Chain A
Amino acid sequence: MEPGPVTPADLDLSLDQSGAARSESQWQMVLRRFRHHRMAMICLAVLVVMLAASLLLPFFVARPRAEVDRAYRYLPPLVTDPAGIFHLLGTDNLGRDYLIQLIYAARVSLTVSVTVSTVATLIGLTLGLLAGYFGGWTDSIITRFLEFVATFPLFVILLILLAALLETEKPLSLPGPLIEVVAVITATPDHEAEKIALVILGMAGLLWPSTARLMRGMVLSVREHLYIESARALGASSLRIILKHAFPNAFPPLIVDYTLLMNTVLIYEASLSYLGFGIQDTPTWGNMLKAAEANMLAHPWMPLIPGLPILLASLAINYVGDGMRDALDPRLRK
């Protein structure tokens, strides 16, 4: 059998010749599928509105001040106060507009949630990537450390840690720029920002192991793929293989993990504040709930108002995570 040279025309090209016409990357496909997930899109909108409101409001409305006159306090929703100002959600125990207060609190609650999950994800991602890719001793050391951190009963440790840190006057000398950044994103004065930064660091420092474990597992499975070996055969360095092949292919489940983490943090932060261990002087949803609880018998609607955004945000984050998971699931390919 002596075949002649092959020319492109001889070969069957089942793809249309229009070539580059319409082609979709995996990310474009995920995005398209996410957009078809109605509930997730609604919830994403809710979250965006919440976040935007909390970021923009301080530019227009100052933090409400406490009123001395009792007539201004504990006003139920949809009531106009003696000065003729309408309060959509009523006023709190110090006569401050509940809605504005809630939006200021959202700023702290949501930014804590976002930053903690971001920091924890970054730590977990890096350690998981290293452990999974290099294996051997690197993996053993990282995995042991991870297990050590993961054995802490999270909430109890957080309580003790924060109680100890927040009680001391100058607990840890955090770098100034870090506090500045936290102060700006939470719209709080520096001394408050320092405490918030501590809460953020404490939670992030304890919440990364699940992410690291997930990432390690993903990288372990991705590492066995032939395209990794193929890249190595071409002479690619470990760094290139990690950044260009291992990471992008191991990454998708982390998006879902990230949303779940945001949710966890939101609830933890609210619980901590509620128990009086987290952020105390700046209003957050959690400590507003606590403040309202004290007067629950006389004013039963009050705890519902800060409870509602916690529920709403948590549900919304969950649905967004759900939507992402469906969009990323290759078995549901449409």
Chain B
Amino acid sequence: MPMEKPLLDVRNLVKHYPIRGGILRRTVQYNRSVDDVSFTIRRGETLGLVGESGCGKTTVCRTILRLTRPTSGTALFNGTDIFKASGRELRGLRRHMQIIFQDPYASLDPRLTIGESVAEGLVIHRIGTAKERTERVRGALEKVGLHPDHTQRFPHEFSGGQRQRIGIARALIMEPELIMCDEPVSALDVSVQSQVLNLLRSLQQELGLTYLFIAHNLSVVEHISNRVAVMYLGKIVELADRQSLFRTPRHPYTRALISAIPIPDPTVRSERIILQGDVPSPVNPPPGCRFHPRCWMARPLCKEQEPSFEEKEPGHWSACHFAEEVS
């Protein structure tokens, strides 16, 4: 694989939320929401980020957009350090990085018309005249499959899938290089999910977009990603090409997730791996491998030593002591 400079290069990203307690509101503990996460996204690819609720996927996304400050780590976007960017640089960065939110009902201001909502980015960055903006809004709406005359309507007049399209148009109009999709389809009906996924895919082909695609559903990620990262309790436990990850997972957690994907073929008997117990609290993660209390392969070593995140095969990274035995 040619060593092209990645569009986004995240290294050792850590985000700990302080938990304050007592009368003096002193910090008593930390919620280790994201703990030492590194990954890269190449231009034009889609990196899927999967994990259970509360594993830190959204926090990764929010820190990269500087919606919240990281505790430590670096993130280079096109070579610019996002976390060190000053006010003006940050504005520039935000023009090229966009986000599509999970909840299409809450992410649009109910008091703005669709036209105003979609044009907001252009207004903020002072792009174009009023007339040009209107044209671009119409163009963007058309691109996401909405009628361009809907600009004067309000969010409450649209369905969930349509609102998510408006959200996509809102991101798209900025002609961004990177779009972070924070579970863009998990709030939608299954029939609408595939429509929106197909739309995102065709837009990527047409405009050469790069996606960081967050989901808690592996089948959605399988459908859209080139590479997939699996997160568990604030850490990436496995990162690989889609085929490689789905065919030969190198982490028991990934294997358990894959086994949970329903197979639309009644003759195939899938062997489901049911994980025992709940996700431990990120405030007090288990020692050693964070997954060991729920892992059916766990051995004494797993309790004592935290596995390092290593390249087990070319391009296939995993954090498991017994990666070879997983499948």
Partner of B90 from A227, A230, A235, A245 at Cβ < 8 Å: A235
Q: With A15-B157, A15-B162, A245-B109 as known contacts, state yes or no: A230 contacts B101, CB within 8 Å.
A: yes
Q: With A20-B149, A226-B101, A235-B94 as known contacts, state yes or no: A8 contacts B154, CB within 8 Å.
A: no
Q: Is A298 an interface residue (CB 8 A)?
A: no
Partner of B124 from A1, A17, A235 at Cβ < 8 Å: A235
**B149 & A235 in contact (Cβ 8 Å cutoff):** no
Q: Is B280 an interface residue (CB 8 A)?
A: no
**B147 & A234 in contact (Cβ 8 Å cutoff):** no
**A23 & B106 in contact (Cβ 8 Å cutoff):** no
**A4 & B124 in contact (Cβ 8 Å cutoff):** no
- Please choose the segment from B40-48, B193-201, B300-308 that sits at the chain A interface, where 4 or more of its residues have CB less than 8 A away: B193-201
**B109 & A8 in contact (Cβ 8 Å cutoff):** no
- Please indicate the chain B residues that have their CB under 8 angstroms from the CB of A13 in the complex: 145-147, 162
Partner of B91 from A20, A235, A249 at Cβ < 8 Å: A235
**A226 & B106 in contact (Cβ 8 Å cutoff):** yes
Q: With A11-B195, A226-B101 as known contacts, state yes or no: A23 contacts B157, CB within 8 Å.
A: yes
In the assembled complex, the CB of A166 is this many whole angstroms from the nearest CB of chain B, namely 45
Partner of A3 from B120, B159, B198 at Cβ < 8 Å: B198
Q: Is A231 an interface residue (CB 8 A)?
A: yes
Partner of A15 from B94, B109, B147 at Cβ < 8 Å: B147
**B101 & A236 in contact (Cβ 8 Å cutoff):** no
**A234 & B199 in contact (Cβ 8 Å cutoff):** no
Q: Is A19 an interface residue (CB 8 A)?
A: yes
- Please indicate the chain B residues that have their CB under 8 angstroms from the CB of A17 in the complex: 147
Q: Is A225 an interface residue (CB 8 A)?
A: yes
**B145 & A227 in contact (Cβ 8 Å cutoff):** no
Q: Is B1 an interface residue (CB 8 A)?
A: no
**A8 & B147 in contact (Cβ 8 Å cutoff):** yes
- Please indicate the chain B residues that have their CB under 8 angstroms from the CB of A147 in the complex: none
In the assembled complex, the CB of B124 is this many whole angstroms from the nearest CB of chain A, namely 5
A-B CB contacts (within 8 Å), total count: 109
**A23 & B154 in contact (Cβ 8 Å cutoff):** yes
Within 132-186 of B, Cβ neighbours of A (below 8 Å) are at: 142, 145-154, 157-159, 162, 170, 174
Closest to A2 in B: B201
**A3 & B201 in contact (Cβ 8 Å cutoff):** yes
Q: Is A151 an interface residue (CB 8 A)?
A: no
Q: Is A58 an interface residue (CB 8 A)?
A: no
A117 to B291, CA, bound (A): 61
- Please indicate the chain A residues that have their CB under 8 angstroms from the CB of B91 in the complex: 235
- Please indicate the chain B residues that have their CB under 8 angstroms from the CB of A236 in the complex: 120, 124
A195 to B125, CA, bound (A): 50
Q: Is A329 an interface residue (CB 8 A)?
A: no
In the assembled complex, the CB of B253 is this many whole angstroms from the nearest CB of chain A, namely 25
Partner of B106 from A26, A227, A234, A245 at Cβ < 8 Å: A227
Q: Is B110 an interface residue (CB 8 A)?
A: yes
Q: Is A167 an interface residue (CB 8 A)?
A: no
A231 to B147, CA, bound (A): 23
**B124 & A234 in contact (Cβ 8 Å cutoff):** yes
**B103 & A3 in contact (Cβ 8 Å cutoff):** no
Partner of A230 from B99, B145, B223 at Cβ < 8 Å: B99
A4 to B206, CA, bound (A): 11
Q: With A231-B120, A249-B109 as known contacts, state yes or no: A6 contacts B202, CB within 8 Å.
A: yes
Q: Is A10 an interface residue (CB 8 A)?
A: yes
In the assembled complex, the CB of B258 is this many whole angstroms from the nearest CB of chain A, namely 17
A7 to B203, CA, bound (A): 11
**B125 & A235 in contact (Cβ 8 Å cutoff):** yes
**A5 & B107 in contact (Cβ 8 Å cutoff):** no
Contact residue range for chain B? Answer: 35 or more
**B142 & A8 in contact (Cβ 8 Å cutoff):** yes
**A19 & B107 in contact (Cβ 8 Å cutoff):** no
Q: Is B50 an interface residue (CB 8 A)?
A: no
Q: Is B76 an interface residue (CB 8 A)?
A: no
A233 to B145, CA, bound (A): 24
Q: Is B111 an interface residue (CB 8 A)?
A: yes
Partner of A8 from B98, B106, B145, B174 at Cβ < 8 Å: B145
Closest to A232 in B: B67
- Please indicate the chain B residues that have their CB under 8 angstroms from the CB of A20 in the complex: 149-153
Within 233-247 of A, Cβ neighbours of B (below 8 Å) are at: 233-237, 240, 244-245
Q: Is A14 an interface residue (CB 8 A)?
A: yes
Q: Is A25 an interface residue (CB 8 A)?
A: yes
Partner of A235 from B95, B109, B152 at Cβ < 8 Å: B95
Q: Is A64 an interface residue (CB 8 A)?
A: no
Q: Is A307 an interface residue (CB 8 A)?
A: no
Most buried by B among A7, A14, A17, A235: A235
- Please indicate the chain A residues that have their CB under 8 angstroms from the CB of B158 in the complex: 15
**B110 & A26 in contact (Cβ 8 Å cutoff):** yes
Q: With A3-B201, A5-B202, A227-B107 as known contacts, state yes or no: A26 contacts B149, CB within 8 Å.
A: no
**A4 & B67 in contact (Cβ 8 Å cutoff):** no
**A235 & B121 in contact (Cβ 8 Å cutoff):** yes
A13 to B223, CA, bound (A): 24
Q: Is B65 an interface residue (CB 8 A)?
A: yes
Within 1-59 of A, Cβ neighbours of B (below 8 Å) are at: 1, 3-8, 10-15, 17-20, 23-26
**A227 & B113 in contact (Cβ 8 Å cutoff):** no
- Please indicate the chain B residues that have their CB under 8 angstroms from the CB of A234 in the complex: 94, 98, 120-121, 124, 170, 174
**B157 & A249 in contact (Cβ 8 Å cutoff):** no
The 8 closest A-B pairs by CB, nearest first: A19-B149, A235-B94, A226-B106, A11-B145, A5-B202, A227-B109, A3-B198, A226-B107
List 21 A-B pairs, Cβ < 8 Å.
A4-B202, A5-B202, A6-B202, A11-B145, A11-B195, A12-B195, A19-B147, A20-B150, A20-B151, A23-B113, A26-B111, A226-B107, A229-B101, A230-B108, A234-B94, A235-B91, A235-B121, A235-B124, A235-B125, A244-B112, A245-B109
Give the B-binding residues of A (Cβ under 8 A): 1, 3-8, 10-15, 17-20, 23-26, 225-227, 229-237, 240, 244-245, 248-249
